[in-house]
Amino acid sequence: MFTSRHFSFRAPTGKEDGCCSAGVRSRLVVLGVLFVELIERMTFYGISGNLVLFCTNVLLYTSTQAVTVNLVFTGVCVRVCVCV
């Protein structure tokens, strides 16, 4: 056991007296993973939705080129997610 003036650290013994049971902790973990997945998908669809507008208005691509860039971006993202 390590004790300092500001904090103390106790090595885990396996008998944790935490505020949550194992079932509650596992539900919190599942909710955390689902929340991160939701935010990740919102980010992806936000980027892919605005990518065509950015390419046509800012980069001055034609509509065909902008859609091609969007399709390549989507393909790379899907391929990287499947391979990992």
Is residue 44 included in any domain, yes or no? Answer: yes
- 70 located within any domain: yes
14 in a structural domain = no
* Count of domains for the chain: 1
For residue 28, report the phi and psi dihedrals to the nearest 5 degrees.
-65, -40
In a domain, 7, yes or no: no
What is residue 20's predicted lDDT score, i.e. its pLDDT?
74
In a domain, 5, yes or no: no
Of 31 and 11, the one with more pLDDT: 31
pLDDT of residue 63: 96
12-51: pLDDT as tens digits: 665 655 667 888 899 999 999 999 999 999 999 999 999 9
69: in domain: yes
In a domain, 77, yes or no: yes
Gap between the Cα atoms of 15 and 69, Å rounded = 55
Summarised one tens digit per residue, pLDDT across range 62-80 is: 999 999 999 999 999 888 8
Q: Which domain holds residue 34?
A: 21-83
Whether this model's pTM surpasses 0.85: no
What's 34's DSSP letter? H
